[in-house]
Amino acid sequence: MVLKVLKFGGTSVTNGSREIIDIISENKDNKLIIILSAFSDITNILHCYDKLSIKILIKRLKYIHNNFIEKYIKHPVQLHRQLNVLYDNLGHIIYYHEKSRQLDCIVNSYGEKCSVIIYNYFLKENDYKNLVIWSEYLICTEDNYSDSFPYMISTKMCIRAFLKPQLKKHDIVLTTGFIGSNKNGCTTNLSRNGSDLSATVIGSCLKPEQIIIYKDVDGIMTCDPRKVPFAKLINTVNYKTISELCYFGSHVLHSQCLIPFKLRSIPLLIKNIFNKNSLGTLILEDYKSKSTVDALTSITDHAMLTIKGMGMNGFSGLLLNILKVIAEYNINIPFITQASSEQNICLCIQAKYANIVQIRLIETFENEIDTSQIDSIDIDDNIAIITVIGENMIHRYGIAGIIFETLGKEHINIIAISQGSCERSISFIVDKKDEIKALLLLHTIIL
């Protein structure tokens, strides 16, 4: 028997129960670790725990769960008892604890716990014996309660102690996605899309034959199909290219999910649970793409900060001080470029942080602004960052020329350009109104 790790997201858990049974049936000769997300909308409801009464909150949770139970569970008495214990515990925790980040994590973990309990009964009613192990016992994380990242050495030890022995006795193990615990045993959350990370972390510690993440999309596309209707499925891609894609706006998979794979060489398959005919996207460590350009991505929820000034030339430590201000808010910078004259620095951050960062930069460089070393610190939130990604662009001359010539002919102005030293990607900024037109043109010409 071979080992596989299967992860099912919220849409799959809510609407794909029959498909999940079919998938388990197809893998009846394999050992399976199944990682489950919360039912759709459950996490959003739990995030509002401080705005709803406990009674209303639990009523909403029960409504979603009971819709599933009434459809698929023939003998639900014992299941309801177990769920009621979880609901009572949840209410007790909210009522008796002051609001804190730790409380947020404990409360948010209950969505996944309810899913696993429900599916434990659902699988048993379909004659699939299974064991439940909470992921708090498997995944050890940093001490920060939200958006934690696993400590892989400690996690490997926990998986060796709690999970490996059970795989010898049980063919199917269910566990919760999204949840871990710190060194003190306190519940932590990986992130809002941490269930995928749970799958890759557990998989990297066990080295299964394959990890399969089931979504409600066919896989990774050459562009967002909502923006480019004729976008194509990428059948196979390597770790480095998919990492670039994730970083620059592909929402199918988060780039953090790939970190545990370093040096492990485990195939990762992304499949559509509702489309059996789709082969999905297979992610392999050493796959060599034959295409010059593999995909296009775009980001529209960012703003561009531009710091200008003739006196910036030779200003020692300027960029360092700018980055320090941004680091105060733990903000990611997907795009940064500086003119060689040092008279212009532009960078992009999420638009929701732009105003506060602008204010802090003005405060930080008050003296430089008064003495006209810095002329202005401006925000432009009417932008789109478009990125062209391709492993073989490094071997092909003139790709940048084709991109800019194509856009220039259609009078699409490029505001700023940035290219990584790995030459796998070229990013540039255009006006937001030109985003779709630019994507359609480039996809037609270079893909």
- Six-digit token string for 442: 């480039």
First-to-last C-alpha distance (Å) of the chain: 41
CB 107 within 8 A of CB 82: no
* Side-chain half-sphere CA neighbours of 302 within 13 A: 23
Query: pLDDT tens digits for the chain (447 residues)?
Result: 899 999 999 999 999 999 999 999 999 999 999 999 999 999 999 989 989 999 999 999 999 999 999 999 999 999 999 999 999 999 999 988 777 777 878 888 999 999 999 999 999 999 999 999 999 999 999 887 778 889 999 999 999 999 999 999 999 999 999 999 998 888 999 876 788 999 999 999 998 999 999 999 999 999 999 999 999 999 999 888 888 888 777 778 877 888 887 667 899 999 999 998 999 999 998 888 888 899 999 999 999 999 998 877 767 788 889 999 999 988 989 899 987 666 889 999 999 999 999 999 999 999 989 988 899 999 999 999 999 998 888 777 788 889 999 999 999 999 999 886 666 889 999 999 999 999 999 999 988
Position 141, amino acid? T
- Reading the block at residue 63, the tokens are 């409504």
Which of 234, 265, 269, 240 shows the shortest CA–CA distance to 255? 240
Task: Give dist(CA 389, CA 296) in Å, integer.
Answer: 6
Lookup: tokens for 194: 């941490």
CA distance 296 to 253: 15
Cβ atoms within 10 Å, residue 356: 13
Residue at token pair 């014996």: 129
Q: In which residue are the tokens 């996944």 written?
A: 112
> How many whole angstroms separate alpha carbon 29 and alpha carbon 38?
27
| 199 touches 256 (CB < 8 A) | no
> Does residue 330 contact residue 416 with C-beta atoms inside 8 Å?
no
Nearest CA to 7 out of 203, 171, 149 is that of 203
Dihedral class, residue 314 (left if φ above 0, else alpha if ψ from -120 to 50, else beta): left
Angle between helices 17-26 and 110-125 (to 10 degrees): 60
